[in-house]
Chain A
Amino acid sequence: MNKMMRNSFQSLLVALMLGAFLGGCSSYKPRTEPNAPVYERGSRVSSAWGGLAPGETAGVDSPDLATADQYYEPDVSRPVPATAPTQSPAAETIAYADNTAYQPRPVTPVPAATSATSMSAATKSLLSKADREQASGNLTGASSTLERALRIENHPLLWNRLANIRLQQKRYSLASDLASKSNALASGDYALKRNNYEVIAQAKEAMGDAAGAANARAKTGN
């Protein structure tokens, strides 16, 4: 009897395993991931990456809202689109540049010491954070920090720094307008203005506006 019982349990187990196996074959696809709920897995963003050109093209739709600055920093782990992008991925980087052929020369930054005298301690600390981020190549982080500083203080040096970053990112039209914005606030700060005109000159040159570039360059004193 004991033997029989044992036999029956064995057959039960076999049946169970067989059933499980068959069931698995029929409907369940084994996963390679661990056997735990997967709420900790990275999120999936199946947006149309690169479907929009950021920045200047905003303003066609109504209501007029900003479009996204997509995050393509190679060193940061970012979610992989689950669905294929509607446009070729190259569009994303091209979308940044108004003219890919042009290589902007680095504009020597205005030393914070000369232009930041009127800045509050909070803004100064953010400016130096942004400078560190820019120096380490984290341009997206630097621009984010500068925008935060601008929410605290509408200071021309911050606009100038942002203009320089956008120039480096080859967003020429935006760089030029940011430099103009800095100029509008810079009143007596001639070092800052010269720097802004240098940004404008390079941006205009990159966009093929030779006259505009010459005009701006004339104001740099070079």
Chain B
Amino acid sequence: MAKKVRKRTVTKRKKRRSRKKRGAFFGALFKLVFSLGLVGVLLLAGYMAYLYPTVTGHFEGQRWRVPARVYSRSLELYVGAPVTRQQLTAKLARLGYRKVDNPRHTGEWAINGDRLLVRSRGFRFWDGDEPEQYLDVHFGSTGVSRLKEKTSGKDLAIVRLEPMEIGSIYPSHSEDRVILSSGEIPKLLSGTLLAVEDKRFYQHHGVDPIGLTRAVVQTLMGNRQGGSTITQQLIKNMYLTPRRDMKRKFKEAVMALILDAKFEKEDILTAYVNEIYLGQDGNRGIHGFGLASYFYFGAPVSELDLPRTALLVGMLKGPSQYNPRRNPKAATKRRNVVLSVLLDAGLISESQYRSAAAAPLGITAAKGGGDSGRYPAFMDLVRRQLRRDYQPEDLNSDGLRIFTTFDPWVQQQVESATDKRLQGLEKQKKLPKGKLQSATVVVTPQDGEVLAISGDRQPAYAGFNRALDATRPIGSLVKPAVYLTALEKPQLFSLVTRLSDTRLTLEQNGKLWEPDNYDKEEHGAVALETALAKSYNLATVHLGLELGLDRVIDKLHSLGVSQKLNPFPSLLLGAVELTPLEVAQMYQSIASGGFRSPLRAIRDVLDQHGNPVQRYPLTVNRASQPGPVYLLTTAMQKVVSEGTSRYLNSVMPAHLNLAGKTGTTDNLRDSWFAGFSSDYVTVVWVGRDDNAPAGLTGASGALRVWGDIMKPLNPRPLELHPPETIEMVTVDKETGLLVNNDCYEVETRPFLRGYAPMELAPCAGGSIDGLFDFLNGGSKGVLDKNGHPDFESWDNRQSERPSRKSGDSLGDFLRSIFD
């Protein structure tokens, strides 16, 4: 028994010992595992500690480099605004407004005959907020005829729509985004996003084992599914390279845990919404839902309805694969998958699902949200103006809002006219195809705002910007400066003063220079205004030499030509190389009545929250006196009515009284036209990059393009206000001298008061000697120093007559006519 007992005890002990042994084994094992685990945990901890600053520092310090956004001018609506219904509807379409039957939401509009109802969006401008309004706009034959607030029925004095975003300034190969704050993310968007990408977002700690398990199971069952949480996806996008391996997955999970522990869910979700990649536009990556909404739908994210929200969320899976512009079928399918997920989750009703799944994709044809590629020439000008005042990093990271003078409507006319006309010219003149090039600048006369620019006949081409960089000889475009210099000396020159259009030989640079007229003819004694209208070279050279080259150069400078000019006689015929933009400045000075306004492409700059930063104000510099500029402009109207630009009368109404000047250079290399109405100064250059003859004069080339651009713009007539220093006097057509009732061929022309001719014309009994006195000594007009308000700064000391180099031969010539 005892044995037994003992035996038992032994067995028990044995058992106990073996149990003990086993226990020791497990203990050792546990110790080992635990030690290893501890080492692992410590390693993990170390790893986390190592990653911690990267994750939190980067996330906290996360400043998305938000490019500067560039906006066009905004459309102003008021009674009398020259805006057509077509223009407004086109504008609304470009701004991403939706046409509906009954506008109920911001960003919707409806049409009923000549009446438009628009739920406008609010916008913050430099000078304050433009509120959201329900507009009731009526159109008449000339533009807006009535403007009311629809709900109250109250008249509105003036309303402006938000400007169009025309580009953004970002470095090449860069991310672009429109930042949304947490409060700006629509519930519809965040709800859809979480339902599809991360159902347990608010429950998990950055990594979701349940979601992961489900994903693994689903993947094993053949339905490939991602198990990454929003947090992990954010980590992947913000910190990691797109490599897909276990090491990276692990790192991603660890970083997600840290991020989740450290930050609020809302902050993580907001960061995700702004960070995530949603498409590509050339070099520009479309990041975040804020920009993607503009990019695909042309509308802010706050206006997105269910199907469009579902489409954007669906695109997360593969922005390129489900690109709705390129793969509309795949995109629709994917959108509907998202919709069915929402339906299954009970977030939307069956009927909501059906109507959303049947809805069109709602994509705008034009890429919205600052498609910088669209207006490269103007954006180039904006960048140059900004470069003076900003560092590059301010522009591509601080989210500045830049308000420009750009007018998309005018630009559209420039673009649709140019290439078409050049093709026509190449065909008509049998020129090689595609060789002609062109550049155009359109500015406002009174304040020098640049409305439109094209630097290439293919406007989207972002290469050489001829409007800003191609310096070409301007030919006869220089002549208005010569004639203005003359008209500022009323004691010597009026519009009807006879000039000598005779050949002459000059020495220039040690070489002989023999200018000639385009028609190779001499025209004898011609009225000053006729010489300009018909662009006679010989008369202009005589006139310029008499005035003195230095005075002409001074005048060119005060009109806005900044480069140094050499006093060669050939300058008088345009041997001066300017860019179309510089020519636009010169003609702006004339078109504004002699007040140069430095051309501006930017009005003001706000920071990304709408606080004012900087303004580029309207400035004027007096370049000449109103009287002489008035006379010059009258002569430039003659260029169109009876001179080298008569062509315009066949395409545009004569009552527009357009003024302008053609320019042609040697061997027809450059074809220019610069002209203006009361609302547009437009300069067009046509020529070839290789400087080979283009085969076009100013009138047969650039003038045609000019007409094509200006006609659809429906310009306002050029109404000249005669300053009080101007008087109208009737003179003999033949001689420009005073007339009486015996004279029949007469015309009434403007003169500076007190400087009309005193001599009687031969028809009125005057002697032919009177004419010669006039020719040799100028007008005998009274020099009145104090009688006229605008003469205070006139240089009246210059009373002696400048030497006339070919006066004698001219006298002989005239005697031969009149004897």
Contacts and interface: CB of A to CB of B under 8 A. Distances in A.
A215 B581 contact: no
B619 A174 contact: yes
Contacts of A70: 614-615
Interface string B705-734: 000000000000000011110000000000
A135 B618 CA distance: 21
Given A64-B599, A187-B721, A24 B792 contact: no
A100 B64 CA distance: 43
A46 B394 contact: yes
Interface residues of B, number: 103
A78 B611 contact: yes
A19 B616 contact: no
A19 B616 CA distance: 53
Given A144-B127, A183-B789, A16 B45 contact: yes
A148 B614 CA distance: 16
B129 to A, nearest CB: 13
B772 interface: no
A71 B615 contact: yes
Contacts of A60: 562
A107 interface: no
B609 interface: yes
Interface in A115-160: 120-122, 124-126, 140-141, 143-145, 147-148, 150-152, 154
A66 interface: yes
Interface in A207-222: 212, 215-216, 218-219
B226 to A, nearest CB: 24
B46 interface: yes
Interface string A57-81: 0111111111111110100111100
Contact of A19 (B45, B262, B563, B600): B45
Interface string B30-74: 100010011001100110111011001101111110100000000
A24 B37 CA distance: 26
Interface in B536-569: 560, 562-563
A90 interface: no
B468 interface: yes
Contact of A147 (B42, B599, B618, B786): B618
Nearest to B450: A65
Contacts of B618: 143, 147, 150, 162
Contact of B388 (A20, A52, A126, A183): A52
Nearest to A36: B267
B613 interface: yes
A71 B612 contact: yes
Contacts of B66: 39
A197 B789 CA distance: 9
Interface residues of A, number: 91
Contacts of A154: 446, 678
A23 B49 contact: yes
A101 interface: no
Interface stretch (B76-84, B85-93, B99-107): B76-84
Interface in B436-486: 444, 446-449, 468
B792 A65 contact: no
B157 A48 contact: no
Contacts of B57: 27-29
Interface in B374-393: 381, 384-385, 388-391, 393
A4 B27 CA distance: 12
Given A43-B398, A64-B582, A65-B600, A15 B78 contact: no
Contact of A144 (B56, B158, B604): B604
Contact of B619 (A48, A55, A77, A126): A55
B595 A180 contact: yes
A56 B60 contact: no
Given A11-B38, A35-B263, A66-B598, A120 B76 contact: no
Interface string B393-410: 110001110000000000
Contact of A31 (B61, B388, B621): B61
B131 to A, nearest CB: 14
A61 B613 contact: no
Contacts of A12: 41-42, 45
A47 B229 CA distance: 41
Contacts of B384: 63, 65
Nearest to B615: A69
A91 interface: no
A93 B465 CA distance: 36
Contact of A184 (B127, B128, B593): B593
Contact of A48 (B48, B389, B600): B389
A177 B80 CA distance: 29
Contact of B615 (A68, A152, A184): A68
B790 interface: yes
Nearest to B264: A36
A202 to B, nearest CB: 15
A120 B80 contact: yes
Interface string A2-42: 00100010011001101110111011110101011111111
Interface string A166-192: 000000001001101101110100000
B676 to A, nearest CB: 13
Given A23-B50, A40-B181, A187-B724, A78 B615 contact: no
B726 to A, nearest CB: 10
A44 B388 CA distance: 17
A15 B721 contact: no
A54 interface: yes
Contacts of A52: 388-389
A39 B63 contact: yes
A176 to B, nearest CB: 8
B82 to A, nearest CB: 10
A84 interface: no
A60 B561 CA distance: 10
Nearest to B56: A28
A45 interface: yes
A19 B394 contact: no
A197 B792 CA distance: 12
Given A65-B599, A125-B158, A37 B53 contact: no
B601 interface: yes
Contacts of B613: 43, 45, 71, 78-79
Contacts of A1: 30
Contacts of B391: 46-47
Nearest to B68: A43
A16 B34 CA distance: 18
B607 interface: yes
B607 A43 contact: yes
Contact of A4 (B34, B158, B579): B34
B48 A39 contact: no
A177 B620 contact: yes
Contacts of A120: 78-80
B599 A63 contact: yes
B608 to A, nearest CB: 5
24 contacts: A12-B45, A15-B41, A15-B42, A15-B46, A19-B45, A19-B48, A38-B61, A39-B181, A42-B611, A45-B394, A46-B391, A60-B562, A62-B579, A64-B581, A64-B598, A66-B385, A66-B598, A71-B612, A122-B81, A145-B127, A150-B446, A180-B790, A197-B789, A212-B793
The 9 residue pairs across chains A and B that have the minimum distance between CB atoms: A19-B49, A122-B78, A28-B53, A125-B157, A43-B398, A43-B607, A15-B45, A69-B617, A122-B158
Interface of A: 1, 4, 8, 11-12, 15-16, 18-20, 22-24, 26-29, 31, 33, 35-48, 51-52, 54-56, 58-71, 73, 76-79, 120-122, 124-126, 140-141, 143-145, 147-148, 150-152, 154, 162, 174, 177-178, 180-181, 183-185, 187, 193, 197, 212, 215-216, 218-219
Given A23-B50, A36-B267, A151-B76, 14 more contacts: A12-B45, A35-B56, A42-B609, A52-B389, A59-B560, A63-B468, A64-B581, A64-B599, A66-B617, A68-B615, A148-B127, A151-B447, A174-B619, A185-B721
